[in-house]
Amino acid sequence: MILGCAWYPEHWDESRWADDIRLMREANISLVRVGEFAWSRLEPQDGQMALDWLERAVTLATAQGMMVVLGTPTAAPPAWLTQAHPEVLAIREDGRPEVHGARGHFNPASATYRTYCARIAGALAERFGKHPQVIGWQIDNEYNHVSYDAETLAQWQAWLMAKYGTLDALNSHWTTSYWSQEYTDWSQLPFPLRAGHNPGLTLDWKRFVTDLLRSYQKTQIDAIRQFAEPRQWITHNFMGWFDLFDHYKLCEDLEIASWDNYVGTGHLNYLSNGAAHDLTRGFKRRNFLVLETQPGSVNWAGVNNALDRGEVRCMAWHAVGHGAEVVSYWQWRSALNGQEQYHGCLVAPDGNPRPLYEEVSKLGKEFTSVAKFLRGTTPASEVAILHSYDDRWAINGQRFHKDFDPVEHLLSFYRPLRAMSFGVDILHPSAPLSAYKLVIAPHLHLVDDEISEHLLKYVEEGGHLMLGPRSGFKNAFDNALLPVRQPGPLAWSLGAHVEEYYALDTPVPVTGAWEDGEATIWAEWLKVDADNVEVKLRYGTGNGWLDEQPAMVTRKVGNGRLTYLAAWLDVPLTRRVVSWMTGASRLAPPFGPVPEGVEVCRRVGGGRELYILINHTDRPLQVELPRALQNALTRTVHPQHIWLPARDVAVMGARVEITTPV
């Protein structure tokens, strides 16, 4: 349990550093992240390394018991580099070159830029790779762009040549006979710069970008690993649902996944925000780090409101409940100038703590006090939701209904599960599934034999798989509709297929085993093909085509069950469907019912089971307990229930080990 902050000693006179470290320790902050944007100070001229100041900052911090994460500074190249080598600047989609003075303005495909990145990363690792208090490395910062220059285009064309071998194979896979798109030379292959480009080309572009950024990242990993001890982990700070690239693949080269958790305008919606935590945990299927989070407010949102008193603490425990091992604030103290002057921080420009400092200090004390209790535990789930970047890219490329947002569709299942206090893992469809009683595939759009066999094996061995609309629609290349009806290779086992699909301009009534509701955005007409298929929902009178047709079917398959929900349902009916799915899967919430607005996060490990309870509301609430439990934060045993004040937290368990008093 580590509380940290981003510290930029290069912004301040060195005489100030000791006071910063003292205030961090008084706030029970035990980790600093440094160096990530300091390239111009670390290498003020080409080849002239100036690392002594950073070593003095690291030494000062570690002398006070602080741990250090070093960021490679490659998200912000220095002016001498971009001036001497203008080819390292990215070219925007409109053909204009980036200019110096921001960040993320480099070309990740540039061989020249990669050489300089490897040099600075290697120099840092040579100096700090054996430092006992340097625990890890962050590569770059929030990958967020690609360049549309000649060097990137050549690599894109070479990538396609390596993948397909011949233009005949490429033309066949992309069905380029449509609209006279057939290519006769590799140099003709374009960037997908316009909307509505060939779906196969567009999906391959996303996969190329993934490989491009992965190789850019690997250049720095290799440079660091020449000198860094194996105990020092390497990570990158991702951005939640951002989908420029496939995060699962980039994480294959990292020891641990991390992300930056911000709210922006408004307040924490724990039922949605928790999904981004669970997504990040699913990249490596293990606990993760929050390397940046919001210290009250930001400076980039439409309205940069502050989080309410107590909300920052709740947000941190919310992250821990979903598996965060580090919660680190961006940033410690705002610079006196620069684009982020108004961003929230813990210390004001005059060097004195801001009001939020006290709340974070309390949080740090809590983390220290219960660290031993949480050590070795991780979120425990019996429900998984499947998520694939390929599926999202394919659907977003041809939504058919402007509001069919695949992330929002996934969240329509996630939110009711979390409201019922079920833990949820968000996983790639190829991940091991035997540990789960219920697996939900909200829109398994692209399928191949390997994935379908993997999922059917899960069902036949006793699992419950629910497929949502648009499943089994296209092949894995996104270049062709499957020559069978939805859900493609899974239709025979389901005993039903999709006769037709409809984007809805007006809702369609739905009725059946539970309360009536509506289908919105999307609906599919199911046709039953086997006798032992149960119809759970039917459409009412709507567009004439859907009237009285099945909207949801389920069938026992082997030792398990396969269910198909053919519509995007309204919120109340989705909640009822999710409740039925959990019951049919022999699942019960491990904690029990809680008031609306109370989040339950279960972590297990080392023979311990604990529950983090968070009251996200502005009023006190009583929570019934499944048995007598002790609150590690107060050392109080609660036999039957606990009162949680507004925006308060309890860490409950049967065996509480406390290291220091709260």
By three-state DSSP, how is residue 253 classified?
coil
Per-residue b or e along 11-31, where b marks 16 or more CB atoms closer than 10 Å to that residue's CB: bbeeeebeebbebbeebbbbb
Which pLDDT score, from 0 to 100, does residue 660 have?
45
Q: For position 363, what pLDDT does the model report?
A: 96
Supply the pLDDT for residue 334: 85
pLDDT reported for residue 592: 87
Task: Give the dihedral of Cα atoms 231, 427, 212, 292; nearest 10 deg.
Answer: -60
Are the C-beta atoms of 202 and 397 separated by less than 8 Å?
yes
Is 515 annotated in the active site? Answer: no
- Convert the pLDDT of each residue in 36-71 to its tens digit: 999 999 999 999 999 999 999 999 999 999 999 999
**Residue partners of 154: CB distance under 8 A and separation at least 6:** none
SS3 assignment, position 549:
coil
Q: What pLDDT sits at residue 483?
A: 76
Instruction: Using alpha carbons, select from 394, 356, 378, 185 the residue that is nearest to residue 278.
Output: 378
Q: How many CA atoms lie within 13 A of 335 on its CB side?
A: 12
3-state helix/strand/coil string of 221-235: HHHHHCCCCCCCEEE
> Which residue is associated with the tokens 């390497």?
234
56 sits in which H/E element = helix 52-63
Distance of alpha carbon 510 from alpha carbon 551, whole angstroms: 8
Query: In which residue ranges of the chain is pLDDT below 50?
Result: 657-662
Domains in the chain, please, with CATH? Answer: 71-233 (3.20.20.80), 383-584 (3.40.50.880), 598-653 (2.60.40.1180)
pLDDT score at 658: 46
Per the residue annotation, which of 36, 43, 98, 292 is the catalytic one? 292
Tokens of 110: 């540039």
Whether 292 is a known active-site residue: answer yes
pLDDT the model gives residue 196: 83
**Two tokens, residue 498:** 């999709």
Res 662: pLDDT: 44
Q: Measured between alpha carbons, how far is residue 414 from residues 38, 208, 407 in Å?
A: 40, 30, 10
Angle at which helices 311-321 and 270-284 cross, to 10°: 40
Among 43, 98, 142, 518, the one annotated catalytic: 142
Picking from 250, 311, 315, 245, the residue whose alpha carbon sits closest to that of residue 277 is 315
pLDDT tens profile 523-533: 999 999 999 99
pLDDT on residue 466? 98
Which strand (E) or helix (H) includes residue 416?
Answer: helix 406-419
Confidence (pTM): 0.96
**Residue 406, pLDDT score:** 98
Contact 496, 530 (CB under 8 A): yes
In the chain, % helix, strand, coil (3-state, to 5) comes to 35, 25, 45
